Structure 1
Amino acid sequence: MKKLFFVSALSLFSLAAFSQDAVNKAMVDQYRKDKEKSDKDATDAKSSAKAAFWLERAKLYENIALQGSEVDSSAAKTALEAYKKVVELDITKKGEPGKSAKEAQNVINGGEGTQLFNAFVKQGAEKYQAKNLNGALEMFIGAQEINKKDTLASLYGGIAAQQLDKKDIAKEQFEKYAANGGKDPSVFYGLAQLYRAENNFDKAIETLNKGLVQSPNNKDLKAEIVNILLASGKEDQAINELTALTKSDPTNAQNIVNLAILYDNTSTKATQKIKEIQNKLGSGGNKAANMAKKLESEKENISVYDGELKRIGALIKKQPKNADLKRQLTDVTGKKKEALAAIATMEADVKAAQDAAKGNDVAALEKELAELKVKQAEAAKQAIANYKKVLEIDAANYDALYNLGVFYFNEAVQLKGEVDNMNMTEYQQRGKEVEGRVCGKFKKAKPYFEKAIQAKDEAEAKENLTTVNGVLEQFAGKGVACVDEQ
């Protein structure tokens, strides 16, 4: 997919229809002499006061632009200025345009059969070829003054402006091209890129949709809509667009990979959000209640320590030289001190948990959690289905193989977190069963990493495979049987 945009300027070279190869050297020499005379007469008060002089000068410079640019590379501009001078001077006694003024105005307006527009475009192309981009842009903009509905000059003007990094002018030129009925999809793509660079995502998508009106089946325009939707954080819309692309082009493996990645990302984000909500719920009433129970239990230990201290104290009175009793007294005193410190910390934690519970709308959080779990499960299902669909088309597709491996690897890591958070009682009840499922998911990831490495020798796949093999060896050493979940 394109990352940078430069409309091909090769068509500029086709303007060699105005080639100088066939121009007679004598004609060019004559143009040079005629130009010198016209330039001299332009400073003469008597000559420069006549519309006829300016009309003749306009035609001379127009011909120079079309046939002898080596005489004056900007002759088209001088021709336009001269035509405007004719309009200014040739006015009848009734205040109306004279015959010459009408003729000149017709040329300025790009009337049928006139050539001044072509003169500007030709000299603009010549400047472009000579790497004089500023001069080329000036000429192309001048051409648009003559024919405001043309697409050629606005296209080339946009190209020159973009290469000059004059983004605002480039946008203006390409917008004119589009408004005048231009159809080249690369222009719409490039214009959208300019808007995207400004984070004007809505305008970028609007531009791409305009391009699709002209080129309904253009894959680059459709794919770029997806990219921009992703860049603007509209993943759900991107999924819809990409789903439509995969249906219209079911053998395009890259589109299906991209769709799988979108679902994969959606699943990951939903999983993260689920954890956040579970933590919020965990910091609510249930957590506060559990912490309060532990606090009461710890307070009960104080009375036990006090009783023990009383007992040891009575014995020491009877046996004041007993070193073991003194040691016991020191030990119990230290434990009581630690328990009192723990109680102070726990009291603060209980208060914090109770305060946190007050700020949570438990019902709303539980509703959101249920919805997220459904969304996560569906996204995960679609991600796997589309990765596997890619492998049906291209069994050696690295992205699908690697991402499937990562998918199962991450599921294993997440499930292992459950085991890590179990207390001894919970582990004794179901720890081994969950470990078997963890092992099964790591085992499921392994062949995808192996095939990914065969498809493309990438370090990331190798590192993950090494990790998986190490984990599986640990499970084997513990005698954990891998459970393959379908």
Structure 2
Amino acid sequence: MKKLFFVSALSLFSLSAFSQDAVNKAMVDQFRKDKEKSDKDMSDAKNSAKASFWMDRAKLYENIALQGSEVDSSAAKTALEAYKKVVELDLTKKGEPGKSAKEAQNILSGGEGSQLFNAFVKQGAEKYQAKNLNGALEMFTAAQEINQKDTLASLYGGIAAQQLEKKDIAKTQFEKYAANGGKDPSVFYGLAQLYRADNDFDKAIATLNKGLEMSPGNKDLKAEVVNILLASGKEDQAISELTALTTSDPNNAQNIVNLAILYDNTSAKMNQKIKELQGKLGAGSGKANSATTNLESEKGKIEVYDGEVKRISALIKKQPKNADLKRQLAEVNAKKKESVAAIAKLEGEVKASQEAAKGSDMASLEKELADLKAKQAEASNKAVENYKKVLSIDAANYDALYNLGVFYFNEAVQLKGEVDNMNMTEYQQRGKEVEGRVCGKFKKAKPYFEKAIQSKDEAEAKENLNTVNTVLEQFAGKGVACVEE
């Protein structure tokens, strides 16, 4: 969008400010004759040694650039070199600049009455129109040497460089534009995009903020600050910026949708972290519990082996020559020895597991989990609140309708996971009750998908609605009553 703005601006500049329609054909013919004569006179050593010759040549080429570019599309460059030659040659006996040299220097530095800057900008615009972007960039850059405080040449130099994909040059040009007091928000937006493409998010945001100093109410710049904060992983700042936008413009449904999506995404990320923490807590206590269970099992074996040793030993006293009994006794003792070794190993594992659990600071993890669940619930509630706020402004807003449907759909899937993980005893105790709530969540999602499809015929909404309908039919077949919360 911003690039199109730049192109149209340059078109307007080149076609209106420097239109060639009014140029007199006779004047152009005269320029051509005067140019041929000046070019020829350059080969005359006597002429080329005079500052006056170079001054005439500079002014001729400057006028050609301003009024007859068809004679020489780069006449401004020739004028520039000729003015420099005047400064070089016109010296007094004391070695100081003469009258012509001072005049030429005034022109080269963009002094009062100088038209050389305009000559470069005009011919740069013409080269741009002819799609000679490199030539245009050269002209705009030269113009800036004449007037370093100008914003026009740096603006168009940045545009040309950007289209040539010379990003570093484009940045330099746009930075000059901004430094010299340029105010066009499109330039700040475009420059921020260049920094964003390089993942230089801090500079991108600083550029947008500078643009907002010039145009405090610009919605594009404000929205892009949020986008870049998101791209750089700074969701909290993005939420803060977007909340401010929704406060200043409470009827802007798109801003509110974006804020809701931000809260929605934040909730989803927190859900993932909650699962990870629950996994850590389960692993810490589970490993110790497993090792303790195995230890108790091995200790139980010792009691069995001791009983067998006592029984077999009593039989051997009665039958001292019975080889089979002696073999049985040897086997039991060997198994008891293995169990004793296993117990020693398991005791070490239990101790290590308990120490590991202490090292991971289970209490700290439990507190972190509780805090995270509270924040996740808050983000979740904010998401729903803002989606519904959008629908109060625009009841047919597809994004709000679809995302609310997805929100309740995901809640249903998450709750169904509880049922899937139940053992038979747990399911008999409360499985039907939880299934009723699962059914209620799917039922709650259904009208949002239906209204979303009415607003916009999208495949994603249709697919989700079909899934919801299938699930609800299955619950009905099982005799599960939907419970909406």
Please tell me the TM-score bracket, short chain as reference: 0.7 to 0.9
Q: Partner of 1:43 in structure 2?
A: 43
SS at match of 1:111: coil
- Which residue pairs with 2:289 in the alignment? 290
CA contact (8 A) 1:12 1:125 kept: yes
Q: Could you tell me which runs of 5 or more consecutive residues in structure 1 were left unpaired when the two chains were aligned.
A: 310-339
Give, in angstroms, the shift of residue 479 of structure 1.
2.1
Give the corresponding residue for 2:10. 12
Q: 1:133-191: per-residue Cα shift (whole Å, max 9, x none)?
A: 11111111111111111111111111111111111111111111111111111110000
State the one-letter code of the partner of 1:8: F
CA distance in 2, matches of 1:229, 1:253: 20
Amino acid at match of 1:249: D
Q: What pairs up with 1:362-377 in 2 under 5 angstroms?
A: 362-377=362-377
In structure 1, the partner of 2:280 is 280
Cα offsets for 1:275-303 (capped at 9, x unmatched): 1011101111x313432454357658979
Cα displacement string for residues 255-291 of structure 1 (whole angstroms, at most 9, x for unaligned residues): 111100000000011111011011101111x313432
Q: Distance in 1 between matches of 2:92 and 2:261?
A: 74
**Matched ranges for 1:197-346 at <5 A:** 197-284=197-284, 286-292=285-291, 294-295=293-294
Q: Which amino acid aligns with 1:467?
A: T
Q: Partner amino acid for 1:196?
A: R
- SS at structure 1 position matched to 2:161: helix
Q: Distance in 2 between matches of 1:447 and 1:147?
A: 64
Work out the CA distance in 1 between the residues paired with 2:170 and 2:397. Answer: 39
Change (3 A) 1:31 1:134: same
Question: What is the match of residue 171 of structure 2?
Answer: 171
RMSD of Structure 2 on Structure 1 (CA)? 2.6
Relative distance call for 1:391 and 1:304 in structure 2 (3 A) is farther
2:292–2:350 Cα contact (<8 Å) kept: no
Indicate the SS of the match to 2:364.
helix
Deviation readout 1:211-270 (Å, 9 max, x if unpaired): 101111111000000000000000000000011111111111111111000000000111
Question: Are residues 1:82 and 2:82 paired?
Answer: yes
Please tell me whether the aligned partners of residues 391 and 400 of structure 1 are also in contact (alpha carbons under 8 angstroms). Answer: yes
Cα offset for 1:410? 0.8
Structure 1: which amino acid aligns with 2:112? E
CA–CA separation in structure 2 for the residues paired with 1:412 and 1:349: 40
Residue 424 of structure 1, CA deviation:
2.4
Q: How far apart in 1 are the matches of 2:423 and 2:355?
A: 26
Aligned to 1:431: 431
For the residues of structure 2 that align with 1:424 and 1:480, how far apart are their CA atoms?
A: 18
Q: Using a 3 Å threshold, how does the CA distance of structure 1 residues 301 and 432 change in structure 2: closer, same or farther? A: farther
Contact 1:87 1:97 in 2 (8 A): yes
Q: Retained in 2: the 8 A contact 1:6–1:159?
A: no
Please say if residues 141 and 153 of structure 1, whose CA atoms lie closer than 8 Å, have aligned partners that are also in contact.
yes
Quick one: which amino acid aligns to residue 69 of structure 2?
Answer: S
The C-alpha deviation readout for 1:393-426, integer Å capped at 9, x for no partner, is 1111111111111111111111111122222222
Distance 1:296 1:464, change over 3 A: farther
Contact 1:401 1:452 in 2 (8 A): yes
User: Residue 180 of structure 2 aligns with which residue?
Assistant: 180
Partner amino acid for 1:168?
Answer: D
Q: Does the Cα contact within 8 Å between 2:291 and 2:349 map onto a contact in 1?
A: no
Write out aligned runs for 1:365-404 (5 A): 365-404=365-404
User: For residue 142 of structure 1, what is the aligned residue in structure 2?
Assistant: 142
TM-score scaled by structure 1?
Answer: 0.87
Q: Give the 3 Å change call, closer, same or farther, for CA 202–86 of structure 1 in structure 2.
A: same
| Corresponding position of 2:312 | none
The separation in 2 between residues aligned to 1:157 and 1:352, in whole angstroms, is 68
Task: Specify every segment of 5 or more residues in structure 2 that has no aligned partner in the other structure, as ranges.
Answer: 309-338
2:282 maps to amino acid: G
The residue that corresponds to 2:122 in the other structure is 122
Q: How big is the shift at 1:350? A: 7.1
1:99 equivalent in structure 2: 99
Relative to structure 1, the CA distance from residue 306 to residue 396 in structure 2 (aligned partners, 3 Å threshold; closer, same or farther) is farther
Distance change in 2, residues 1:300/1:431 (3 Å): farther
Identity of aligned residues (%): 80
Runs of 4+ in 1 over 4 A off after TM superposition: 296-307, 346-356
CA gap of 1:293–1:471, structure 2 versus 1, over 3 A, is: farther
Helix, strand or coil for the counterpart of 1:83?
A: helix
Q: Output the TM-score relative to the length of structure 2.
A: 0.87
